[in-house]
């Protein structure tokens, strides 16, 4: 399952959540520190690790 990164607009706390792609579109993330729902998704680089050599 993908890990999504968020930052709270109220307190500035950065946190991540592991959730399915389907659940990501349905549910609203809340800050675990202050419980505010005003969070912004932070885009991070994506790296795929495989066992094959390229």
pLDDT digits (tens, 9 = 90+) for 9-50: 999 999 999 988 888 778 888 999 999 999 999 988 777 777
- DSSP per-residue codes, the chain: --EEEEEETTT--EEEEE--HHHHHHSPP--TTT--S-EEEE--------SS--
Where do the domains of the chain lie? 3-42
pLDDT of residue 48: 72
Separation of CA 6 from chain center: 5
What is the CATH T-level fold of the domain 3-42, as seen in this structure? Rubrerythrin, domain 2 (2.20.28)
Q: Which residue has the higher pLDDT, 36 or 52?
A: 36
């Amino acid at each position: 399952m993908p890990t999504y990164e968020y930052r709270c607009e109220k307190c500035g706390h950065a946190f991540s959540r592991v959730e399915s792609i389907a659940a990501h579109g349905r549910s609203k993330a809340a800050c675990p520190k202050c419980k505010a729902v005003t969070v912004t998704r932070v885009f991070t680089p994506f790296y795929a690790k495989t066992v094959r050599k390229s």
